[in-house]
Amino acid sequence: MLIDSHAHLDDSRFNDDREAVLQRAWDAGVRKILTIGNGGGPDEMGCGVPIAESHDWIYTSAGIHPHDASKVEERHYGVMEQLAGHHRVLAIGETGLDYYYDNSPRDIQREVFRRQLALAKERDLPVIIHTRDADEDTIALIKMEMPSRGVVHCFTSGNKLADFVLDIGFYISFSGIVTFPKAEALVEIARRVSGDRILVETDCPYLAPIPHRGRRNEPSFVCDTARFIAEVRGIPRDEFATQTSANFDRLFTVKSA
Ligand SMILES: [Zn+2]
Ligand SMILES: [Zn+2]
């Protein structure tokens, strides 16, 4: 059993064959998926709810991506608060800072991130963090609000951020990027993260792992990333699957209906 801790099943690239994609994931042994509920911007927040309501093994989140921070109006936080109370919404995010693309001004990214950290803390929900080229500010903002639990998804940062998030009890989730050539530093982190703090994800439809690189990614491919990391860590695949599944269940507590 494997869990894809971060997918974008709402993406239009799945419009023609979404159910077939989910069936392939199930057949490959994927038993839970967390589909991110951000959509293409704050007006589409909650887009994961219909998928999560119609599949009992799929859960979702509510958040605003740093790319879309400049589109946020105050009312969107009200929508997020309401979604936070939905029984299929298990987390706030993805939210964070992306100084690589800088699609929104950095000061606005920081404020929108801070508000979501504060909401996660207030509701005692885990926060799903996206961070790129912004390790220092990510650490500073987490320290400022200190939500009780969270995960840095699609981890590509360095040792300092890894050590910080592990120190405060957060989790680290690896995507297919870890399977790419030249990912040695990342592989080193995937080797040393303790077994009770590691997760795997696809971040599909982006970032298909080797041997699917360049194709549309989908949840069944989480098996390839998991196999790669299990090998790096020198443990059987089954053991790694059991660990990451237990970690997911501990971090993303399923709500009663
Ligand atoms: Zn992301
Ligand atoms: Zn994502």
CA distances from 224 to 34, 99, 228 (A): 18, 29, 6
Per residue of the chain (257 residues), what is the pLDDT tens digit? 999 999 999 999 999 999 999 999 999 999 999 999 999 999 999 999 999 999 999 999 999 999 999 999 999 999 999 999 999 999 999 999 999 999 999 999 999 999 999 999 999 999 999 999 999 999 999 999 999 999 999 999 999 999 999 999 999 999 999 999 999 999 999 999 999 999 999 999 999 999 999 999 999 999 999 999 999 999 999 999 999 999 999 999 998 87
Virtual torsion, Cα 140, 136, 104, 81, nearest 10 deg: -30
Ligand lying nearest the CA atom of residue 10: 2
Ligand lying nearest the CA atom of residue 97: 1
Neighbours of ion ligand 2 (CB under 5 A): 203
Compute the distance from residue 93 Cα to the ligand 1 centre, in Å. 9
Number of residues assigned to the chain: 257
Ligand lying nearest the CA atom of residue 7: 2
Compute the distance from residue 38 Cα to the ligand 2 centre, in Å. 9
Q: pTM for this one? A: 0.98
Compute the distance from residue 203 Cα to the ligand 2 centre, in Å. 5
Compute the distance from residue 16 Cα to the ligand 2 centre, in Å. 20
Are residues 148 and 168 in contact, defined by beta-carbon separation less than 8 angstroms?
no
Report residue 25 as tokens: 């994931």
- CA Rg value for the chain: 17
Are residues 116 and 127 in contact, defined by beta-carbon separation less than 8 angstroms?
yes
Compute the distance from residue 132 Cα to the ligand 1 centre, in Å. 9
Compute the distance from residue 7 Cα to the ligand 2 centre, in Å. 6
Ligand lying nearest the CA atom of residue 35: 2
Report residue 71 as tokens: 């589109």
Compute the distance from residue 164 Cα to the ligand 1 centre, in Å. 19
Q: Quick one: pLDDT at residue 77?
A: 98
